[in-house]
Structures are given as structure tokens and as C-alpha cells.
A and B are shown apart, each in its own frame.
Chain A
């Protein structure tokens, strides 16, 4: 099958991808990623309208109480594996303009990584160079990596009211080193609010992966 410019067929293809993610059908999701490359489709659109849509629907199903942690996690893994196929291809084709570099991590003492991983994946999919340091990462290490990678944005996740103070520590370290203005600092996680963002003197917060992408684009004027 050749897709060409047939919008209808394209939309159908995106929906198939989105459904594969929601149905947690890994084989199908990966097969569709490979087909998107063979068919020479616009991979950014494939990621955003197909895989991104699927992961957003999973997020909605979680909110609604139809999906739970295992589904959320599986969906994230399938998304990641599909991205592992699509992102190198995007880079090869030069279609991917690097919009900026983001260092992202869950703060020390906190092992919640799902939300942070989804944010990282969505940022990669949207053309950012993402360094995901994982969970339980000391503030110093996050800052040092940001310096080393010449990052534009530092994203710090915290899911616990006891660990979210680490988010402020990032800003404090940057201030101490006199390099605060070199980075935009964004924070996220269930307990994070606007007033906490102000308290931290962070540059913004987002309550979903989609919002996080919008926020980073806005902060970097992209």
C-alpha cells in the first residue's frame, strides 16, 4: 500500500497506531513504526498523531480509572520501543531539527519514573535532544550533566511531598554557581503546584507530558 498524500488513509494509519498503543499491542505498534519508515511518511506526524495520541489516551484512561499502573507502564514501554525505531530514522533523514537540549530526571530519594519517562519520550518525539538520567538522581548530578551537555532545559520530577524539596535544590545550586540564567528549570509531579513553582523560582511546571512539551517550546520560543 502506498499512502501518498491521501489524508484519509493517513488518518486511518495514525488511528491504527494509536489503537495499538491503547490495546498495549507491542508487535503491532512496532510493525506500524517500521511501515511508517518504509512508506516514507512524515515521522514527526506519525509520532505526534499516532503514538503521542495513543499515550495521551492511556493517560486519559488512567485518569478515568479504566487503566492502572501496569497498563500505564506497558504503554510507556511500547511507546519507547517504537521511538527507538523511529527516532534514529528521523535523525538520519535530517527531518529532525534539534529544538534544544533537555536534561530530565526524577530527584534523589524518589523512584517514581513513569511520568518523567513519558515526558522525556514526548520531548524526544517533538525534536528535543533528551538526556534522561532516570530516577533517584542527586541534584548535583542533574546540574553537572546539564552543564556538560550544554542543556537548555532542566526538568525535575518529584512525586513525593518529602522529595519535592530537591526540585528547589536544583535552582539553589544553579544560583550558587552563578549560572541560573543559563538554564530554564521546569518541574513536575503530582504534588507540584503553581505556588510551589514560584517558591522554587522555577521557570514553569506542567501537569502532563503534552503540557510539558508546550511549556518547553514556549520557554525556548520554539
Chain B
């Protein structure tokens, strides 16, 4: 179905919004791996997915951002990789209405390559394969996101391609510098786009780090760099930590949605939100898309 959506020129695909901020909003203490909630509090994860589907998201992603082998290893719970990912699938399957899609979410391993860390491409590939092999049976497509290293992105793509034929959205995370958009590892937007094109992903995207306003600029550059469909999941501005110990995103929903409207006008095919966005944000974007 996703491939048909991509071919349908009139279709703008609505992704979901933030997961972490929704979890904290429901009173869960920050500090633990949100992926564990798939097991410890499945009702809560189900409810968040369901809310996003209910407000009109075409597709939502599994709560598996941190459930790759290497990342779980950092929390010493890598032996639970199968259960965490399998339970994540159950939670989102229950929430998914007909004619909507389930996206398998793959986040960064948390391990960097030298000189920053010690990770190798082989370790990355093997780590993502272990996660993706569990998710493959239940997802319609993949979203590899928040990657700050194009090498790790390529490893994740390779891992998925080794065991799945389903479409891939690959979203890098960029910071804005005076010389343009770069990953924190120092790769330019153009270099990353070329690498993602060569890896034959289905949709080239960006998510997190940037607020919606900067994401508009980035999408404009993306449209000049590639003919691939584009996905954008910006943050709701920049976070502020309040006395209640929570990260707050103060950007008004209407400002975020206005930027998303511009992102769609520039030609993005898939839109949604990252940190600080909520079902309210997605509901408002739904209205915008439906009015187009």
C-alpha cells in the first residue's frame, strides 16, 4: 500500500508525532528506556499508537527506537531483544485500524565509529539485523531515523535489505551550520543524500534536532538535491527544561503546522513530527492535508 501511496501524486502521507514526550506526559518517570514499556506497560504504548491513528495518521511507528542489539546492550538487556521488539509489534498491531500502516522504527545504536567510539560497520549491521528480523513479520515498511552518522545509516539499510524487501524511509538528523546542514559527524546534506540514493532507499528524509522552521529550509535544499520522495519529521522548536523536570516544547501547534504546510508545498511526500509534537499536532496537520 505504501508504494501505491508514493505513486499517487495527490497523496500526502501523514506520519505520527513524538513518542517519548507522550510517554512522559502520561506520568512515566524519565530515565528508563522507553522500549521496555512495550513489556512493562503495553496498555500505555497501545494507547499512544491508537491516539495517533485516531487523529488521522496514515502510519505510525513501533516503539522500538532504542531496541537494536547494541543499544539494548548498553542497558544490559540485550537478552530481551526478541521480547521487546515482538511485544512492540503486538502493541501497535492492536492499535492499527484497517488501511493504515505499521512502520518498523529503527534508531541509532548509540555506539559511534572511531575516533568517537569503537563501533564497526559489521557490528552495526549485525545489531540491526537482530532487531529487524523480529520486526520484519509485522511491519509494512521501515523508518531508519535520527542517524547522525551516514555510515551507520548505510549499515542499517544493509541489515534491513539482508532480510526484507519492504520500503525504507531513511531519515538522517542534521544540525544547521553557517556552511549549511551537516550531521554531527561532519557529513554534508548532499553527501548523505547521494549515499542514501545509492543505497536505493524509497524515501529520503530528515528528523529530529531541527525545529520546523529550519526543517523548511532543509526540505527546500533536499528538493534541489534529489528526485526521491522526501520525508520530514521536525521537532516542535527547541526544548526548555522546566521546574517539573520535564522537557517542554513551547512552539504553538499552529506555528508548527504552518511550517508543515510550507514543507508540503515544497514537495515533501511524508510529513509528521518528532520530539515535542503530539496527537494534537497530527490532528491539525490532518486538517491541512485534507483541505489541500
A residues whose Cβ falls under 8 Å from a Cβ of B = 64-71, 73-74, 77, 109, 111, 114, 136, 161-166, 168, 191, 193, 195-196, 199
Give per-residue flags for B175-195: 1 if the beta carbon is below 8 A from chain A beta carbons, else 0: 111110011111000000000
Interface pair A161/B239, CB less than 8 Å apart: yes
Interface pair B177/A69, CB less than 8 Å apart: no
Nearest-CB residue, chain A, relative to B247: A161
Residues A73 and B186 in contact in the complex (CB < 8 Å), given A65-B179, A193-B241: no
- For the complex, give the distance between the alpha carbons of A163 and B148 in Å: 20
Nearest-CB residue, chain A, relative to B21: A161
Interface pair B179/A66, CB less than 8 Å apart: yes
Nearest-CB residue, chain A, relative to B75: A109
Contact residues of B between 71 and 86, Cβ < 8 Å to A: 74-75
Interface pair A65/B182, CB less than 8 Å apart: yes
Interface pair B245/A199, CB less than 8 Å apart: yes
Residues A164 and B112 in contact in the complex (CB < 8 Å), given A71-B186, A111-B74, A191-B247: no
Interface pair B110/A65, CB less than 8 Å apart: no
Chain A residues whose C-beta falls within 8 Å of the C-beta of B30 in the assembled complex: 161-163, 165
Chain B residues whose C-beta falls within 8 Å of the C-beta of A191 in the assembled complex: 239, 241, 247
- Any A CB within 8 A of the CB of B243: yes
Chain B residues whose C-beta falls within 8 Å of the C-beta of A136 in the assembled complex: 74
- For the complex, give the distance between the alpha carbons of A193 and B239 in Å: 12
How many B residues touch the partner, as a band? 20 to 34
Residues A64 and B178 in contact in the complex (CB < 8 Å), given A69-B186, A191-B241, A196-B241: yes
CB-contact partner of B245 in A66, A111, A165, under 8 A: A165
Known: A65-B182, A165-B30, A165-B245. 5 other contacts (CB 8 A): A64-B178, A65-B176, A68-B182, A73-B116, A195-B241
What would be 9 A-B contacts, judged by CB atoms less than 8 Å apart?
Answer: A64-B178, A65-B177, A69-B116, A69-B185, A70-B186, A74-B115, A109-B31, A109-B75, A165-B31
Chain B residues whose C-beta falls within 8 Å of the C-beta of A64 in the assembled complex: 177-178
Contact residues of B between 158 and 175, Cβ < 8 Å to A: 175
Chain A residues whose C-beta falls within 8 Å of the C-beta of B184 in the assembled complex: 68-69
Interface pair B241/A65, CB less than 8 Å apart: no
CB-contact partner of B31 in A65, A70, A162, A199, under 8 A: A162
- For the complex, give the distance between the alpha carbons of A66 and B182 in Å: 10
- For the complex, give the distance between the alpha carbons of A68 and B177 in Å: 10
Contact residues of B between 34 and 76, Cβ < 8 Å to A: 74-75
Interface pair B175/A65, CB less than 8 Å apart: yes
CB distance from A160 to the nearest CB of B (A): 9
Give per-residue flags for B98-133: 1 if the beta carbon is below 8 A from chain A beta carbons, else 0: 000000000000101001100000000000000000
Chain B residues whose C-beta falls within 8 Å of the C-beta of A162 in the assembled complex: 20, 30-31
Q: Closest 7 interchain pairs by CB?
A: A65-B177, A68-B186, A161-B247, A162-B30, A73-B116, A69-B184, A73-B115
- For the complex, give the distance between the alpha carbons of A114 and B116 in Å: 9
CB distance from A168 to the nearest CB of B (A): 8
CB distance from A135 to the nearest CB of B (A): 10
Nearest-CB residue, chain A, relative to B248: A161
Residues A161 and B31 in contact in the complex (CB < 8 Å), given A68-B185, A69-B186, A73-B115: no
Interface pair B183/A68, CB less than 8 Å apart: yes
Interface pair B245/A195, CB less than 8 Å apart: no
- For the complex, give the distance between the alpha carbons of A171 and B75 in Å: 24
- For the complex, give the distance between the alpha carbons of A74 and B148 in Å: 18
Interface pair A111/B241, CB less than 8 Å apart: no
Chain A residues whose C-beta falls within 8 Å of the C-beta of B185 in the assembled complex: 68-70
